[in-house]
Amino acid sequence: MCLSIFQHILSGRTKMSKKKKITLISVFVAVVAVAAIVAVVLNQKSTTAGVKNFKVQIVSERDGYDQTADCKSDAEFLGEFLRTFEGCEYQESDYGIYVTGFDGMKEDLDNQYWWCISVNGEAAVTGADEIPLQDGDTYNFTLKQGW
């Protein structure tokens, strides 16, 4: 089939037969469908049900603050937990929860201060609403300066 399409292209004719068109569209639709399935599967985050015990560390050099707390929650995602976490200040955005401060230690965008989220020491590559809560994990929030 691929060969016949290739031959058709090389032959330089401008009109394709109906059959070839249908086959071509079918192959394309199949490829797109596979891509869509892959997209959904890869973006599915595995979460665990039930109560999870984990650590939350909050660090702000600017405010001379460094505290770690043992927490427990049955929330599936970090964002869900943060909404109930005392002292956490946040905004809802189109991309999910956006942390603006802890216990009055606010971000300061004019001076390029922002809260960076790390999971087990590695900077998170997704928002808190997409980070699954796992038993034994450490979630670190550090006030960073500079973009």
Partner 1 sequence: MSIQRMTRIALLSAILYVSKVVLEFLPNIELVSLLVILYSLVFGWEAMLIVTVFNLFELIQWGFGTWWFSYLYVWPLLCVITMLLKKLVKEEFLIWAIMSGSFGLIFGSLFALFYLFVDPKYALAYWISGLPWDVVHCIGNFVLMLILGKPLYKLLKMLNQKVYPSTE
Tokens of 82: 């943060």
* Pick 60 or 140: Cβ nearer partner 1: 140
* Pick 38 or 69: Cβ nearer partner 1: 38
* Pick 29 or 69: Cβ nearer partner 1: 29
Alpha helix segments (H runs only) across 1-147: 2-11, 18-43, 78-82
Residues forming the site for partner 1 (CB under 8 A): 9-10, 12, 14-16, 21, 24-25, 28, 31-32, 35-36, 38-40, 42-43, 125-126, 130
The CB-of-64 to partner 1 minimum distance in angstroms stands at 30
Nearest to 141 by CA among 120, 105, 115: 115
Do residues 133 and 120 lie in contact, with contact meaning Cβ atoms separated by under 8 Å? no
The CB-of-40 to partner 1 minimum distance in angstroms stands at 7
The CB-of-76 to partner 1 minimum distance in angstroms stands at 18
Nearest to 144 by CA among 119, 120, 109: 109
